[in-house]
Amino acid sequence: MIRLTESSATANQATVNPEHSLAAAEALFLSLGDGAIVTDEAGRVSRINKVALLLLGYSAKELVGRWYPDAVVAENEDGNRIPNWERPITQVFLEGKSISARVYYRRKDGSRMATFLTVSPVMLDSKPIGAIEVFRDITNEVELEKTKDEFISLASHQLRTPATGVKQYVGMLLEGYAGTITSQQRQLLKNAYESNERQLTIVSDLLRVAHIDAGKVRLVRQRVDLVQLIQDVIDGLNNVFKRRYQEVNFVHPKTTVTAEIDVDRIRMVIENIVDNASKYTPEGKNLEVTLRQRPSCVEIEVKDEGVGIPRRDINKMFQKFSRLNNPLSQLVGGTGLGLYWAKRIIDLHEGEITVSSKVGKGSVFTISIPV
């Protein structure tokens, strides 16, 4: 946000030559490496630099003085025109704060350009008198991202088919379809079966992430009792807890707590968070799952007595392929995709997932979903 005051302007005049200041500001504006557009309080283009003109394909005469949302067409990823009142350049006047977004602009020749932009209001005595938008062309980055996601999806499909076949044949051998096997052969086959299961899990994780990154995930919402849903998740992981000598305490209101969610995907998110808490908690330690009803949302808190997360690594938790170095990492394995996928699903529900932690003391993951 750019904030001006009359007193500061007066003070500057006493010490700085106004003509020099204007010339310096103009030189700085024109030398920006990104496109830059300035509008007045009515949204009309007042200034535009050469980079913006080059990117959009217009001349200054064609844009200066025009209402910006009409002068340059903005679209979303699906190619639909963004309504003028939803444009970032319009929203800054309503919210009075900077906005960053990915927007697709139509150039003068009709071609489409992916941009990442930041719009900031220019304030004078707490009132917006204009806005400045700075944007850059990210078309190549978007295409590279799309190609990468398509490759991961295709490779995952191709890997899944033979891996599933291996699982079936190994299972048949274990069931005795090819005759009696020795105890040593059975153990080797069990090892192969478990390795194959891990491979299929990795492929499934890759597919889920490829789908959500490609924008192909559509939520199917229904109103659900979260008390029962969470209890089902805990019951389903009961054998895991027993194997690790862990106990799980589920704290929840006595009444039902409902929310409109995509049941299957939220179930998988909760399973992921609870299973992760168990994996990174030493044997014999406990977990606690708490469900809270808030006025505008529901909160699901998963607390463990695990190894904890260093402060420097907290921001990495929800990044793709992120795996932290701790005493249990090598033992539990994983792809580093589970938490990334979980966060994307919660984002689609317009919710939030956060984590707090202390090394050696444990971690607390909190999922917040609007009612």
For the chain, give every domain's residue range: 2-137, 142-213, 221-370
CA atoms within a 13 Å half-sphere pointing along the CA-CB vector of 199:
18
CA distance 109 to 123: 35
One pLDDT digit (tens) per residue for the chain, 371 residues: 655 554 444 444 445 455 555 555 555 555 667 899 999 988 899 989 999 999 999 999 999 999 998 899 999 988 899 998 889 988 888 888 888 999 999 999 999 999 999 999 887 777 778 899 999 999 988 888 777 777 766 776 777 778 888 888 898 999 988 889 999 999 999 999 888 888 888 788 877 887 787 777 889 999 999 999 999 999 999 999 999 999 999 999 988 999 999 999 999 999 999 998 998 898 999 999 999 999 889 999 999 998 888 888 888 888 887 766 665 555 555 667 889 999 999 999 999 999 999 988 899 999 999 98
CA atoms within a 13 Å half-sphere pointing along the CA-CB vector of 81:
8
Dihedral of alpha carbons 78, 84, 90, 94, sign:
negative
How distant is the alpha carbon of residue 322 from its chain centre? 14
CA distance 154 to 254: 47
CA distance 225 to 262: 12
Burial class (CB in 10 A: 0-12, 13-18, 19+), 367: buried
Within 10 angstroms of residue 289's Cβ, the number of other Cβ atoms is 23
Is pTM, for the whole model, over 0.85?
no
Within 10 angstroms of residue 371's Cβ, the number of other Cβ atoms is 13
Question: Going by CATH, does the domain composed of 2-137 fall within 3.40.47.10?
Answer: no
Instruction: For residue 36, give the nearest of 134, 160, 110 by alpha carbon.
Output: 134
User: H helices of 225-363, where?
Assistant: 226-236, 238-243, 263-279, 329-332, 338-348
Q: Candidates 3.40.50.1220, 2.40.50.1070, 3.40.50.300, 3.30.565.10; correct CATH number of 221-370?
A: 3.30.565.10
